[in-house]
């Protein structure tokens, strides 16, 4: 999340000239007039946001799977200790929730891409 806060101002900085001009040939609003800018229209902005959401979803999925493996190790090494079993069950539950959240995020990205035509 810190990366978004630090990188967002630099990535979204645009020259003040040409803002708000509508150019149908570009497929959306012309946000900036600089041809080398990473964001030329709203489609570019949507693609960047969807790419960021996709990256975060992969990260969440990876962390959830790793915690699921950790919960499995805790189950194996619990040795009948109720406290360790409860801890392993909670970690496994939260890792399953994390996987579900990641799947939903991937779904949202796919649906958004199809709606936006990207």
Q: How far, CA to CA in Å, does 47 sit from each of 17, 72, 74, 93? A: 23, 37, 40, 33
Q: Which of 37, 94, 101 is nearest to 71 (CA)?
A: 94
- Tokens standing for residue 82: 């109720």
Straight-line distance from the first to the last Cα atom of the chain, in angstroms, rounded to the nearest whole number: 25
**Across the strands, what pairs with 21?**
30
Tokens 């645009």 — which residue?
A: 14
pLDDT tens digits, the chain, 118 residues: what are they?
434 444 444 445 544 444 444 555 555 555 555 666 677 787 788 888 888 888 888 898 899 999 999 999 999 998 888 999 999 999 999 999 988 988 898 888 888 878 877 7
């Amino acid at each position: 999340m810190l990366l978004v806060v630090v990188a967002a101002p630099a990535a979204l900085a645009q020259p003040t000239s040409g803002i708000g001009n509508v150019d149908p040939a570009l497929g959306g609003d012309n946000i900036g007039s600089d041809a080398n800018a990473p964001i030329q229209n709203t489609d570019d902005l949507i693609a960047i946001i969807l790419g960021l959401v996709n990256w975060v979803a992969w990260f969440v999925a990876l962390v959830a799977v790793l915690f699921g493996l950790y919960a499995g190790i805790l189950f194996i090494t619990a040795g009948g200790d109720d406290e360790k079993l409860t801890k392993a069950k909670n970690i496994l539950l939260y890792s399953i929730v994390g996987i579900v959240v990641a799947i939903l995020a991937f779904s949202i990205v796919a649906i958004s891409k199809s709606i936006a035509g990207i």
